[in-house]
Structure 1
Amino acid sequence: MSAIEARVPVLEGRGLVKRYGVVTALDGADFDLYAGEIVALIGDNGAGKSTLIKALSGAIVPDRGEILLNGTPVHFHNPLEARQSGIETVYQDLALAPALDIAENLFLGRELRRKDIAGVLFRVTDRPRMLREARAHIADLKINVRSMKQPVETLSGGQRQGVAVARAAAFASRVVIMDEPTAALGVRESGMVLDLIRTVRAR
């Protein structure tokens, strides 16, 4: 990477504005994120932190302003478009399915299909491959769980957060965004999640 490339933020927001009726949630917000950085947004409730996250991740469309990815303007109309550009988001509610197991949650909405006729015609999932890859992702981030077949509803708050982060890290090629990743967690579990964030950054 050249010195010039190193100075280009991987993700930028320029003059982002978002209004809901008479309420201005974002008023000309700017944001820079460089490769390898961990950046925290700090502010009071209602300051617009979640709105900025949603704008950068495609969950909402700003009324004005510009978002750039590696210096190139992008226009996300939904989270899928952001994910296709390498941006994964862990929302505060984690978006996990409690009754499904860890492997199923890691591939939720992106299930791996068998390559035989059953997978092609009937979209039968490749369960063994999903278990193998889920086990590798969880082990890579040093998340301590009993089994990939363990339902998410049986996990602790920190473990659930770990599964959500592992899913984001597995598919993100550029940026992982987290909305209040330690909310409602105890001191020990918060420390575990912060260690997990540093592990993702180091990958």
Structure 2
Amino acid sequence: MTSTTDRTAPGELAGELPARLSLTPKTTLAGQLDGAWWPYSRDLEAELPPLAAALEECWGRITRVTVSPTRWPVVPHTVAVDGRVLHVGWFTEQDPDKLILLSHTVGRWDLLVIPPETTLASAARLMAAAAIPGSVLTAGVLMANEAVIGRGMRDVQRQEIGWENEGGACMSPYGSPTDRRAHPLP
């Protein structure tokens, strides 16, 4: 996985950056998802060419993509990819956190779409979870779980900051909290 500090790069830059993907290993276990994709922006015209190029070697030529218009402000009908046309469709019934890729010769793949503004830690968890072979978790369930985990982590961080601001372990009369030799023997 490639990381970047600017997760909301403009659409012009997105086409120059490598696709951030995590794919399920080849196995006989069929799951709900075939991996995850973390685009740099919400510009499909800029984001789809690097995605299609990255997948062409392992999955073959991608000919059609479907998305939910919920997460994409503009859904073009076609996108130019290496001198050919990639057809883009949208369905309001499709899971908003999923991208479906189709190929005439190879088949269909479903990818979790991680929002561009997602933190690196959250994206790493989501990419790992979406690439588990045979997983029955859908894109929507993974995103809902991550929202709960992220909220829980923020609460823990808030508690730790509060502990330190109120004196916490630094005020211990027995020395440094990490130095066990400083504690009195029972």
Q: Taking structure 2 as the reference length, what is the TM-score of the superposition?
A: 0.26
Q: Taking structure 1 as the reference length, what is the TM-score of the superposition?
A: 0.24
Quick check: which has more Rg, 1 or 2?
Answer: 2
